[in-house]
């Protein structure tokens, strides 16, 4: 990618050889020019998306590790800082646990039944 002009010239030469041997036109000059523009527009997006994915996965794995190791501490901290009554916090925690269990059992069960 340091010298796109030489890469494009090599591609043109290779395509020209194939077209000459086959006797048909496979790719036109306009298509090659458009391809170069599309690749140069696509590469920065690809690099940016890859960097975002790596950063997001790193954060996800860090949070997952922290939640698995210090889950009870996080739960008690959240219970202390929530601006709700104790009964509402308990109700919210019970409902959340119920929904997590239902999802953890329901989704695989439905997958097995559909399969």
Mean pLDDT (the chain) is 87
Model confidence at 2, in pLDDT bands (50, 70, 90)? low
- pTM score, two decimals? 0.53
Please work out, in degrees rounded to the nearest 5, the angle formed at the alpha carbon of residue 96 by the alpha carbons of 70 and 109: 100
Task: Tell me which residue of 73, 102, 101, 77 sits closest to 89, measured CA to CA.
Answer: 77
Model confidence at 42, in pLDDT bands (50, 70, 90)? confident
Q: Higher pLDDT residue, 20 or 115?
A: 115
Range 23-28 average pLDDT: 75
Q: What is the pLDDT of residue 4?
A: 66
Phi first, then psi, for residue 108 (nearest 5°) are -65, -35
Range 82-95 average pLDDT: 92
- List pLDDT tens digits, range 68-83: 999 999 989 988 999 9
Residue 59 has pLDDT above 90, yes or no: yes
């Amino acid at each position: 990618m340091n010298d796109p002009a030489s890469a494009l010239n090599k591609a043109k030469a290779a395509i020209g050889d194939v077209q000459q041997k086959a006797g048909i036109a496979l790719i036109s000059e306009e298509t090659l020019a458009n391809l170069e523009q599309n690749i140069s527009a696509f590469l920065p997006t690809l690099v940016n998306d890859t960097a975002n994915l790596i950063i997001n996965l790193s954060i996800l794995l860090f949070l997952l590790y922290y939640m698995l190791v210090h889950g009870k501490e996080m739960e008690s901290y959240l219970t202390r800082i929530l601006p709700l009554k104790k009964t509402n916090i308990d109700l919210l925690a019970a409902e959340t646990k119920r929904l997590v269990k239902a999802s953890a059992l329901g989704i695989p069960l439905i997958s097995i039944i559909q399969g």
